[in-house]
Structure 1
Amino acid sequence: MAGRILVVDDAAFMRMMLKDILTKNGFEVAGEAENGLRAIERYKEVSPDLVLMDITMPELDGIGAVKQIKAEDPNAKIIMCSAMGQQAMVLESIQAGARDFIVKPFQADRIVEAINKCLK
C-alpha cells in the first residue's frame, strides 16, 4: 500500500536521498520541510499518511515537532531519523509519540520496512 509521506530533514542532501528511496519503492512524497516549525506547517497543509522526521534540526527539533503534531493529530504516524543512535533520544522520540526510529546512514530496506509496518 503506497503512502503519502512528508520528509523532514535540515540537510537537503538527506531529503533528496530519502525522496529517492521513497519514490523507487512506490511511495508518494507529499512534501518536505527543513526544520520542525516548517514540518508542523507542512503537516497541516498536506495531511500525509506518515512523517519521516529528523531529530536534530534548527528552530525546532524533531522531538518538539512530534509533540506538536501529535497534540493536533493524535493519530499522526511519525518515524524518527537520526545519525545519533543514542538511547535517550530514541526513548524520548518514542515517548513523544514516534512509532519507530531509523538510524543514519539509511538502509533503503530498513526505511521501507519501517514505513510498511507503520502504515499497516
Structure 2
Amino acid sequence: MSMRCLIVDDSARFLEAARALLERGGVRVVGVASTGAEAVERAHDLVPDVALVDLDLDGESGLDVVVRLAGTVPSVILISTHSLEDFQELVAASPALGFLHKSALSARALRDLLGC
C-alpha cells in the first residue's frame, strides 16, 4: 500500500512539481490545497497519511494550519524555501513531525522522515 499525501502550498507551480516528483517516487498524492481552510476540508475528505504544509501560505501561517490538521492527519511535515534555522524553535514547538526544505523534497526524504 502506498503512502497517501496531501500537499498544502499557495504556489500552483510548486504543487504541480511536488506532485510529479513524489508520485515518481511511489508516493500517492491524493490532493492539494492552497489555503488552510482547503487543507482541513481535503484532509477530512481524503484521509491522507501525511500532509506537507508550507510555512508561508500567502499571509497565512503554515504553523497555524499544522495545528488545525494535527487531529486529522497522522503525520504533518512543514516545508519551506527558508532554512530550518530561521524557524527551528517554532517548528519544534509545533505538532509537526518535522521539516523538509523544498529543495530536498523527495519520496525518499519523506519516507526517511516518517521512518518507513
TM-score (norm 1): 0.83
TM-aligned CA deviation for residue 91 of structure 1: 2.7
Equivalent position SS for 1:48: coil
CA distance in 1, matches of 2:91, 2:2: 25
1:21-56 Cα distance to aligned partner (Å, 9 max, x none): 111011111100002221111111101011111010
Aligned to 1:7: 7
Identity across matched positions, percent: 24
The number of residues matched between the two structures is 115
Q: Is the 8 A contact 2:84 2:99 kept in 1?
A: no
Q: Is the 8 A contact 1:35 1:61 kept in 2?
A: no
Which runs of 5 or more residues in structure 2 are unaligned? none
Aligned to 1:65: 65
CA distance in 1, matches of 2:25, 2:108: 11
TM-score (norm 2): 0.86
Q: Does 1:79 align with 2:100?
A: no
Alignment of 1:1-120 (within 5 A): 2-58=2-58, 60-70=60-70, 72-73=71-72, 76-104=74-102, 106-108=103-105, 111-117=106-112, 118=114, 120=116
Equivalent position amino acid for 2:78 in 1 = M
Q: Is the 8 A contact 2:84 2:101 kept in 1?
A: no
Distance 1:86 1:107, change over 3 A: closer
Equivalent position SS for 2:31: strand
Higher strand share: 2
Which runs of 5 or more residues in structure 1 are unaligned? none
